[in-house]
Amino acid sequence: MAALHGPAPEDVTIGVIGADKFVHRIAAVAREETRTPHRLLTAVYERESDAREKAMRIVGDVDVLLFAGPLPYDVAMSGGPLPVPATFVPTGGVALPTALLRGSLSGTVDPARVSIDSALERDVRETYAELGVDMRHVHVMEYHESVAPEQFLAFHRDLFHAGRTSGAITTVPSVAAALADAEIPSLTMAPAAISLRNALRTARLLGSGARLEDSRIAIVIARLPASALPHRTSSSNYWYQELKLSLHRALLHDARRMDAAVLQRDEHSYLVITTMGSLRSGTDDLTRAPFLASVRDALGIDAEVGIGLGRTTLEAEENAQSAVNLAVESGGDLAYLVGPQGSPIALPASHDGEAPEPAPVADRQNDTLREIITLLDGQGDEGRVVDAERVSQLQGVTLRTARRTLRSLVDAGLAWPMPPARVQKVGRPPVRYQLLDERLTG
């Protein structure tokens, strides 16, 4: 175990759990952060099955746990709830094309004849289409909660020995080691630096939220930039009044997803008042800024957005003001979050820096909601509040699929995320969703 200390002793401490190479990479990325240094405590395992044991050794000294990927995270969670929030570095992104390029340049594997684990088949298909490479002889095994490293190993080994592949691409270090022992050509698909930075940011925010167990007030200030203001503001500036109304509508659109209230603060800005749990639900676990992308898409301007957390509304608003001042300096590309400890954290408009397209209410999502409602009614449950575990049981799907289903319903305006219930239980409470069957069309 090793510790990396930032300058502020009260800062969030992130426990990093993974193989040796991963731990060294994420430590190097953390050292590059000069504006908001990270404080890390690391624990190295040789096999993913040891993830929970390693996590429990350091859990008393950290505010949040960050695992090397979904596999060690699920291994750790399978033993029961952890005492602190936990997250993991996601697979995919730019890691796959990078691995394919490495394989092609080094001659280790033929990208057109390869087996790939952990990645979503859809992502692989899109990557190959963009590269213009035929993937008829590419084999993919997606990750889900019940997959063990041995199954990935057997998947790669059987295809290679059958002469159907030139080698393997894996995200699991223990599988890579076993493939090397079996003399099967392979590459490790390691997360890109940007994925590591985003994962550190998410972990830090989750740790910060855990520290605010009894202080879950979150206030967002959304302000029109100075460049959009008229030289002389008055009620006769009709276009400016229209601009403010448009900003208000754009804020309301996203605020619904966070069960938040939108209030006019002054002539140029609005307050959005919500809870930390609802803010997480509406921003993909605080991996992107609220409102920036939707305001840019609706109004064609970059709003100034700052988020404040606090034990009181006054403290939260003061921190939001500090955060929005930082956003002004960034030129509108980022929003900032400031908590009681005063350490600012920058949030991008979206995961890839581009405003997401608004999701239409599709027939498929209407059908999905109808199916869930029918299943609830069939069990005598007239309530319309569910979480991912309930949907998983009703539809007979994995928790991950259930979470995707609920997020798609939210995007379609057919469900609302609700503030987490306050329960005396270790770990984060599940996110509950209000199903809006009155909005069904057709």
pLDDT of residue 355: 37
Using alpha carbons, select from 412, 402, 404, 403 the residue that is nearest to residue 437: 412
Residue 260 DSSP symbol: -
Is the pLDDT at 153 greater than 90? The verdict is: yes
| DSSP-assigned states of every residue in 352-383 | TSSPPPPPP--HHHHHHHHHHHHHHHHTT---
Chain centroid to CA 158: how far?
A: 34
The residue that leads in pLDDT, 41 or 241, is 41
The pLDDT tens digits of the residues spanning 427-441 come to: 455 777 878 777 676
93: left (phi over 0), alpha (psi -120 to 50) or beta: left
Domains and CATH numbers, the chain: 2-89 (3.40.50.10330), 95-188 (3.40.50), 214-348 (3.30.70.270), 363-439 (1.10.10.10)
CA dihedral 26, 196, 410, 425 (to 10 degrees): 0
Give the range with max mean pLDDT: 19-23, 195-199, 280-284, 296-300. Answer: 19-23
pLDDT in tens, 312-344: 777 888 899 999 998 888 766 789 988 766 568
Between 115 and 310, the more confident residue is 115
In one-letter notation, the amino acid at residue 163 is G
Mean pLDDT of 158-181: 94
- In this prediction, residue 403 has a pLDDT band, given cuts at 50, 70 and 90, of confident
Residue 392 CA to residue 399 CA, distance in Å, equals: 6
Q: What percent of the chain shows pLDDT beyond 70?
A: 82
Distance of alpha carbon 434 from alpha carbon 438, whole angstroms: 11
pLDDT of 431 reads: 75
